[in-house]
Amino acid sequence: MTDTTSNQMWGGRFAAGPDAIMEAINASIGFDRRLAAQDIAGSRAHAAMLAATGIISDSDAEAMREGLLTVLSEIEEGRFEFSTALEDIHMNVEARLKAIIGDPAGRLHTGRSRNDQVATDFRLWVRDQLDATEAGLKALIGALLGQAEAGADWVMPGFTHLQTAQPVTWGHHMMAYVEMFARDLGRVRDARVRMNECPLGAAALAGTSFPIDREMTAKELGFDRPSANSLDAVSDRDFALEFLGAASICAMHLSRFAEELVIWSSAQFRFVALSDRFSTGSSIMPQKKNPDAAELIRAKIGRIFGANVALMTVMKGLPLAYSKDMQEDKEQVFDAADNLMLALAAMEGMVRDMAPQRAALEAAAGSGFSTATDLADWLVRVLGMPFREAHHVTGSLVAKAEAKGCDLPDLSLEEMQSVHGEIDASVYDVLGVHNSVASRMSYGGTAPEQVRAQIARWKEVLT
């Protein structure tokens, strides 16, 4: 919609209203309406502070308080008419407040600017997202701990280069992701501590000559302190970038795990059965059960890291203090936050529901000469062979098994001794996958005992 009259908030020096295209490129109300609750909370804190410091009367502040609550309920109940001509959430709320309470509304903007207002609103919004991300990560970690505990001693192949490397335990593999998501949790918490400073009162850029109380508004809004430099307060968005950075790394971790689930649920692997609740069928191939949720989680990194790159690029090279470029911050962060929350929740559901296939995991664990390293270690330990020589002897035994079309434990003692005469029957003890994983007792290793110790540690840390 085009407003032909000049703007009611700043139209004093304007004779004409904006061109329709100008209005279209300028307005942010289409998306920053998501900041309504934060905007109203900020205004309520500001109004209360203006009265407490004697800058406005108590009766004006009371009218503002009630009026703002009315505006909030209108918005929450979908009865609010947003106006593009009023550009953004700040001016939409203030104009509606004026319509409800009249002249006192005009005093609300004393000692503040939309620049500190939007910085405050957006910080409050991002802070909520950091808290929501923390909750989402904790739920996902809880689901992983459940899977790890149930299969702490189940064996499966461990891979490097996606080639069978050594047997590992299912619990160990699940706990690897617990470590990753726990670091993501740490990043989110760190970012929250750093970002929890209140820009309100920085005003347009230089602070204000009114005797405002910034400690009071900061405290009211749950911030640890007011920000200490008004230029910085209105012009940086590093708090949003830290969120996007943490979100990107988390989405990258989700993507890797999702890729494993896609591979593991294929007919060629059959390591896990995904639940019907997190799969889809094919409209043409009746046998299909597709891991769509995992694929979409795998893909979310694209838009989340995209948002990170986009906002970093918007901020790069901006001179102090506020520039309208910064209005481009919000959609990126909104989209990244929405999709991260969705991906975390979908992954949690999938992990809770999935059924690891113990027999298939165990069968795969023993194939591909996965205990060759155990054999080499046995030659070192029992026969005192230098590791390099043991590596060579084991290689010859693998070649023998491969030629015969069998696995290492299927070679007879005579066949073993034809490669090295001192090998005795006790070698078979280390060729089994259960013995192999049980022997990996180094701290952080794959032995069920080690895995259970890590599960217990994380349970304690996270509760």
Residue 243 · residue 337 · CB < 8 Å: yes
Considering only the stretches 78-86, 246-254, 324-332, 377-385, report the one whose residues sit in contact with ligand ARG under the rule CB under 6 A.
324-332
First to last CA, the chain: 53
Size of the site for ligand ARG (CB under 6 A): 10
> By C-beta, is 56 or 326 nearer to ligand ARG?
326
Binding test (CB under 6 A) with ligand ARG, winner from 223, 239, 322, 458: 322
Q: Element (H or E) spanning 240, and its range? A: helix 238-264
Distance in angstroms (rounded) separating the CA atoms of residues 352 and 22:
50
> Is position 88 an interface residue for ligand ARG (rule: CB under 6 A)?
yes
117 vs 357, beta carbon nearer ligand ARG: 117
A 10 A CB-CB count for 420 gives 18
Name the residue among 295, 304, 350, 302 with its Cα closest to residue 140.
350
Residue 307 CA to residue 331 CA, distance in Å, equals 9
Which of 170-178, 322-330, 381-389, 421-429 is the region at the interface with ligand ARG (rule: CB under 6 A)? 322-330
Rounded least distance, CB 364 to ligand ARG, Å: 54
Q: Which of 262, 326, 333, 354 binds ligand ARG (CB under 6 A)?
A: 326
Binding segment toward ligand ARG, per CB under 6 A, in 248-256, 290-298, 323-331, 407-415:
323-331
Q: With contacts defined by CB under 6 A, name the span among 110-118, 220-228, 267-275, 414-422 that binds ligand ARG.
A: 110-118
Q: Catalytic pick from 161, 283, 426, 442? A: 161
> Using CA atoms, how far apart are residues 309 and 238, in angstroms rounded to an integer?
13
Per CB under 6 A, the list member of 230, 248, 327, 454 interacting with ligand ARG is: 327
Q: Which stretch binds ligand ARG (CB under 6 A): 219-227, 248-256, 280-288, 321-329?
A: 321-329
Nearest distance from residue 273's CB to ligand ARG, in Å?
47
Q: Is 240:331 a contact under the CB 8 Å cutoff?
A: no
* Owner of token pair 């923390």: 134
Is 161 in the active site?
A: yes
Q: How far is the CB of 114 from ligand ARG (least distance, A)?
A: 4
Given the complex with ligand ARG, which of 235 and 370 has the nearer CB atom? 235
| Contact in structure between 316 and 325 (CB atoms under 8 Å) | no
Choice among 282, 367, 396, 412 that is catalytic: 282
Give the span between the Cα atoms of 27 and 3, in whole angstroms: 12
SS3 112: coil
Q: For residues 32 and 374, which CB has a smaller minimum distance to ligand ARG in the complex?
A: 32
Alpha carbon separation from 295 to 254, 257, 277, 291 (Å, rounded): 10, 10, 15, 6
408 CB contacts (<8 Å, ≥6 apart)?
A: 369, 371, 372, 375, 397, 398, 401, 431
Nearer to ligand ARG, 118 or 126 (CB): 118
Show the site string, 31-70: x = touches ligand ARG by CB under 6 A, - = not: -x--------------------------------------
- Residue 11 is encoded by which pair of tokens? 């139209």
Q: How far is CA 263 from CA 177, 260, 270, 417, in A?
A: 16, 5, 8, 39
Note if 109 is an active site residue.
no
450 binds ligand ARG (CB under 6 A): no
In the complex with ligand ARG, the residue whose CB is nearer, 125 or 278, is 125
For 30, 81, 122, the CA distances from 3, given in Å and listed in that order, are 16, 15, 27
Q: Does 166 bind ligand ARG (CB under 6 A)?
A: no
- Count the alpha carbons within 13 Å of 139 in the hemisphere toward its beta carbon: 17
Identity of the residue numbered 337 = A
| C-beta of 89 vs 274, nearer to ligand ARG | 89
Applying CB under 6 A, does 114 fall inside the site for ligand ARG? Answer: yes
How far CA 279 is from CA of 177, 259, 266, 351, in Å, comes to 22, 14, 12, 12
Under rule CB under 6 A, which residues in 115-144 are in contact with ligand ARG? 115, 118
Site for ligand ARG in 1-30 (CB under 6 A): 28
Using the contact rule CB under 6 A, the part of the chain among 111-119, 253-261, 422-430, 433-441 near ligand ARG is 111-119
Q: Between helices 448-462 and 170-195, what is the axis angle to 10°?
A: 30
Residues within window 178-217 making contact with ligand ARG, judged by CB under 6 A: none
**Residues carrying an active site annotation:** 161, 282
Residue ranges in contact with ligand ARG by CB under 6 A: 28, 32, 88, 114-115, 118, 322, 324, 326-327
